[in-house]
Structure 1
Amino acid sequence: MVSDSKRWLALALLCLTGFMIILDASIVLVAVPSIERELTFSTGGVQWVPSGYALMFGGLLLLGGRISDLLGRRRVFMTGLLLFAGSSLLCGFAWSGDALVLARGLQGAAAAVLAPSALSIVMTTFPSGPDRNKALGIWGATSGVGGTAGSLIGGPVTDGLGWQWIFFINVPVCVLVLVLAPVLLLDSRGPVRRGFDAAGAVTVTAALIVLVYAVIEAPASSAARTTLLALLSAVLFGLFVLVEKRSAAPLVPLRIFRSRALVGGNLITISWGLSAFGLNFVYTQYAQLALGASAIRYGLMCAVLAAAAVGGSILGQHLVTRAGPRVVAAVSLLVAGVGTTLMTRLTATSGYFELAFWGLTIFGAGLGAGTVAGSIAALSDVKGEDAGIASGLQNASFQIGGAVGVAVVSAVATASTSGTTPVALTHGYRTGFAIVWLFILIGFAGCLLVKRLLEVRSEESGNREPVVATSARRPPVKEASCSSSD
């Protein structure tokens, strides 16, 4: 067992790691114009700098979660830290566009090992009930803030030190966490299973890469080619399902999808990944290319988004235990939709406080509360034996959503732009903002699957405590035991 104070210190360390991982997905969006100017890319190729990371991250997260269950979560967590630090150095020293995209893919693969092990340690450190809900709420809030803080941090770093430093700053963070991890974190494993599902990892990752490639290339490709790529992606996803059904040790046990809360919570999380990364990407382009703002000025302009996300996450965590994740998620999505609608009214001559300030503030508040609700809905009632795979799935939902969101919004904005003047660019960006509403609708569909907050008797206290339940018939489950040794 571990003391209560040590549990919360461990959570702080894990949340710092989670913040760094999500930040690395968003901070690069600010630096994209600078990176494109300094390195050589093919037309539209720069989109693979953010998308390459998100794709490898999202595609391999499920395998990373499985590895952490089998080999020990703390050991895998620390290995992931070393890989992440090394790949961050490679990104900073990249000498060409192709080299950077490759290094970002390696960094995403490292994150796929690191993130699910961190989240599964959170879940095995805190038993099912109010404390786990609170811990997951803090984790979700950290992720939401990390997804928006990139704009605030990335601007000053890019303008002041150069885009390379958005990657170099990861190294001291990794070293700090590596030093403290053996002191604060317990190690644990899931049940012993046979082998790794390499075929499942290959097919699902290939399916995602083909899908996002099809979306990115759609504006410059024929309809027939785009349709062919989409069909190939669907076939690969179907093959993945067949592999999982027949595998003795599947990457994703299909039984976990019987949980409405897990499915609904992950749909909500996908929605936020699509929306947050999509809106952030197109606003980066609008501010720097249409309005001519510098990276540092853009970062300051987006400070309100990060601040609103922090406030929204704190409020969301407070409300989820009272109103339930479904209500909080639905209201948050509606709030974000209002902010998105304001962004569609931006013009090439709009002042920051005219519309963008209010649009970003409202969207950020919804994002902060909504990511907390989605995270709690997806994970609060997961069994200890499924901690790694459920953690990987929840992280994958956000990252895959982010990769597809950037690709879709970029493709739509490009297709809607008929020139290079600020007015022409703004027309395309406004269409990109409007598409975010389609992403929000996916989140509403997820809300329909998440059941209402149920009053069940807590195993720890014997009192009636509000927790999220995936089934009214299934009692709370006991967690897998943790050991303090490797």
Structure 2
Amino acid sequence: MSPSTDRRMGALTVLCAMSLMIVLDSTIVAVAVPDIQRDLGFTDAGVSWVVNGYLVAFAGLLLLAGRLGDLAGAWRVFLAGLTLFTAASLLCGSATTAGLLIAGRFVQGAGGALAAAVVIGMIVRLFPEPAAQARAMGIYSFTQAGGAAAGFVLGGLLTDALGWPVIFLINVPIGVAVYLFGRRLLPRETGPGLGRGLDVPGALLITAGLSLGVYAIVGSSVAAAAAAVLLIAGFLLRQRLARHPLIPLRILSRRRLLIASAAVVLVFATGMGFQFMNALFVQRVMGYDALGTGLAFLPTPIVIGLVSLFAAPRLTGRFGPRPVLMAGLTVLVGGLLLLWRAPVAPSYVADMLPGLIIMGLGIGVTIPSIIMLAMSGAAPADTGAASGFVNTAQQAGGALGLSVLAALAADRTGSSSSVAALHAGYTLAFLVAAGFVLAALLITAILLRRDQDPTAPVRHVETTTAQA
């Protein structure tokens, strides 16, 4: 490889390492929640904010963080977010009270948003060639899947062996190492500066609106939802009037970004909701313990990682992201329907494993292709804002899916704690999740036309190349 390629791959490694920290954090913390509740005296309602505090801050700041990356330089925002995330991890691991831990989780979410919002945009700029970009997105998806796989197992092992504080403290040495390599390897792109376009009123409106929106979803608050709608409407009005809008109108007018982001919401609603509901299914219907649940999950992220790393880039380079996305969504629907048909007394090998593997196949090609579609055509000056927009869609979709599927399952189960009632609730959630994916497939098939796809391969007489 040439030195420039070596440096690009080094930068990609830094970006993926930070993404791995974020994914590991979310899955490990989920496993450790019962121990955290016992040690710090959380109430049943209060302990949910160990997860929700992070999620609200993370989702609320993504759009602002993406715009900051365009104005101040993505590498600066990335390193600032990494620093904040690492410092907050130390605070969380040292927390001796519930309030201090929740405060640390909010700060962690803010740091994660700053770093995560610019990652996709930086990858797009590092690898502008379609084939190379497909490989880079595959590596990024592999990292995400690997973090999910490791988190479920490591969460149980670390919490049982060393206690829950270590799940936060482990981020500190990793964060320091990633920071040092990031300062050396990340391209130091410059922006026009904060004075040339940071819309502070717009930033306040959208941050408050998105935070309240996520809070409304996770807390089922109608008042918060109404307030969120008003704040977001005020933000959109502000963007029409502001001299330097937080989200340039040329981005909001990009039909492909808006449509692909709608599909992103549905796909991540499925992923996050399924992850939560399937964990409950495996524990409460099949009787697995925490470590057994983590091991039962492993096939899906392992398959996602292998497919996204090896198969997805080749398929996307040959056929373009839209056909690959449609194929992946179709396979994903099939996997969910297999799980929906699982009997009341399921066998893991016969009834669960095939569906989990098929879901891994579907997700492995779906995620890289849908991100490529959403980011396609973004000007270099706008990739941070577009990346923040796509990340916001991911987080909003995850919160929405978790809330909707959990509510539907609880409603179907009712007050009964019998295995049959629990089975009925969880399998209904799998069926509704399949409906989410089917809706994403229809959006892709009908609204994202192939002749409008700037990343679709163009066939010549003698050779086939992918056009950006």
2:268 pairs with 1:273? yes
2:222 maps to 1:234: no
Partner of 2:429: 432
- The alpha-carbon deviation at position 68 of structure 1 amounts to 1.8
User: Relative to 1, partners in 2 of residues 1:165 and 1:339: Cα closer, same or farther, differing over 3 Å?
Assistant: farther
Residue 400 of structure 1, CA deviation: 2.1
**Which has the larger displacement, 309-318 or 443-452?**
443-452
Superposed CA offset, 1:128-159 (max 9, x none): 54333432343244334444543243333333
Counterpart residue type for residue 203 of structure 2: A
Secondary structure of residue in 1 paired with 2:196: coil
Alignment partners' CA distance in 1, 2:158 and 2:188: 36
| C-alpha distance in structure 1 between counterparts of 2:411 and 2:34, whole Å | 19
CA distance 1:44–1:356, shift in 2 (3 Å): farther
CA separation of 1:211 and 1:183: change in aligned 2, threshold 3 A: closer
Question: Residues 205-354 of structure 1: matches in 2 within 5 Å?
Answer: 205-218=207-220, 227-313=222-308, 314-346=310-342, 349-354=345-350
Say which is worse superposed, 418-427 or 293-302, in terms of deviation.
418-427
Alignment partners' CA distance in 1, 2:39 and 2:75: 39
CA-CA distance at 1:384 after TM superposition: 0.8
Q: Is the 2:70–2:384 contact (alpha carbons within 8 Å) kept by the matching residues of 1?
A: yes
Residues in 1 aligned to 2:151 and 2:84: alpha-carbon distance in whole angstroms:
21
Partner of 1:441: 438
Q: Offset of 1:324 from its aligned partner?
A: 1.6
Cα distance between partner residues in 1 of 2:354 and 2:390: 30
Distance 1:88 1:233, change over 3 A: same
> What SS does the corresponding residue of 1:280 show, helix, strand or coil?
helix
Separation (CA, whole Å) in 2 of partners of 1:419 and 1:209: 34
Match of 2:204 in 1: 202
SS of the equivalent of 1:123 reads helix
Give the residue type in structure 2 aligned to 1:343. Answer: L
Structure 1 match to 2:417? 420
Partner of 1:482: none
Quote how far apart the aligned CAs of 1:217 are: 4.2
What is the alpha-carbon distance in structure 2 between the residues aligned to residue 179 and residue 146 of structure 1? 21
Which sits farther off after the overlay, 412-421 or 382-391?
412-421
Question: What per-residue deviation string (whole Å, max 9, x for no partner) do you get for residues 64-106 of structure 1?
Answer: 1111222222222222111111111222333454443332221
Q: Distance in 1 between matches of 2:16 and 2:234?
A: 35
Q: CA deviation at 1:227?
A: 4.8
Which residue does the alignment assign to 1:114? 115
Equivalent position SS for 1:3? helix
* Aligned match of 1:102: 103
Matched residues, number: 457
Please name the residue that 1:481 is paired with: none
- In the alignment, the residues of structure 1 paired with residue 228 and residue 27 of structure 2 have an alpha-carbon distance, to the nearest angstrom, of 26
Letter in 1 for 2:436: F
Per the alignment, residue 61 of structure 2 pairs with 60
CA distance in 1, matches of 2:163, 2:285: 22
**More moved, 94-103 vs 83-92:** 94-103
Q: Cα offset for 1:107?
A: 0.9
Closer/same/farther in 2, CA of residues 164 and 408 from structure 1, 3 Å limit? farther
Q: 1:12 to 1:368 in 2, by over 3 A?
A: same
What residue in structure 2 maps to residue 23 of structure 1?
24
Which residues of 2 match residues 148-187 of structure 1 at below 5 A?
148-187=149-188
- Equivalent residue number for residue 448 of structure 2: 450
Q: Any idea what the Cα deviations from partners look like across 1:240-260, whole Å, max 9, x if unmatched?
A: 211222222222113213333
Q: Which amino acid aligns with 1:419?
A: S
Aligned twin of 2:397? 401
Question: Percent identity among equivalent residues?
Answer: 36
Give the whole-Å Cα distance in 2 for the aligned partners of 1:394 and 1:438: 21
3-state secondary structure, aligned to 1:465: strand
How far apart in 1 are the matches of 2:264 and 2:143?
Answer: 14
Deviation at 1:54, TM superposition (A): 2.5
CA RMSD for the aligned pairs? 2.8
Residue 466 of structure 1 corresponds to which residue in structure 2?
Answer: 466
**Letter of the 1:182 counterpart:** R
Deviates more, 1:315-324 or 1:142-151: 142-151
Distance 1:354-1:31 versus aligned 2 partners, 3 A rule = farther
Tell me the distance in 1 between the aligned counterparts of 2:459 and 2:240.
Answer: 36
Aligned residue in 2 for 1:477? none
**Partner letter of residue 237 of structure 1?**
I
TM-score for both structures, normalised by structure 2: 0.88
Q: TM-score, normalised by structure 1?
A: 0.85
Q: Which moved more, 1:352-361 or 1:122-131?
A: 122-131
Q: Answer yes or no: is the 8 Å Cα contact 1:156–1:295 preserved in 2.
A: no
In 2, Cα distance between the equivalents of 1:20 and 1:66?
A: 23
Distance 1:276 1:329 in 2: 15
**Cα distance between partner residues in 2 of 1:134 and 1:43:** 44
Partner-residue secondary structure (3-state), 1:127:
coil
2:47 & 2:402 partners in 1: Cα distance?
12
Given that residues 333 and 438 in structure 2 are in contact (C-alpha distance below 8 angstroms), is that contact kept between their aligned partners in structure 1?
no
Q: Secondary structure at the match of 2:466?
A: strand
Q: Give the Cα separation in 2 of the matches to 1:408 and 1:99.
A: 30
CA distance in 2, matches of 1:396, 1:157: 30
Aligned-pair CA distance for 1:282: 1.4
Q: CA 1:157/1:435 → structure 2, altered by over 3 Å: closer, same or farther?
A: farther
**Secondary structure class of the residue paired with 2:111:** helix
Contact conserved, 2:130 with 2:317, CA < 8 A, in 1? no
**Residue 31 (structure 1) shift:** 3.0
Tell whether 2:391 aligns with 1:391. no
Match of 1:473 in 2: none
CA–CA separation in structure 2 for the residues paired with 1:102 and 1:94? 9
Shift of 1:426: 3.3
In the alignment, what sits opposite 1:189? 190
Question: Which residue of structure 2 lines up, in the alignment, with residue 356 of structure 1?
Answer: 352
Contact 1:145 1:368 in 2 (8 A): no
Q: 1:433 to 1:183 in 2, by over 3 A?
A: same
Counterpart Cα distance in 1 of 2:39 and 2:410: 22
- Check whether the contact 2:197–2:245 (CA below 8 A) recurs between aligned residues: no
TM-aligned CA deviation for residue 113 of structure 1: 0.8
Does the CA contact (< 8 Å) of 1:377 and 1:450 recur in 2? no
Residue 264 of structure 1 deviates from its aligned partner by 3.1
Higher share of residues assigned helix: 2
Q: Which residue identity does 1:297 align to in structure 2? A: G
Pairwise CA distance, 1:359: 1.9
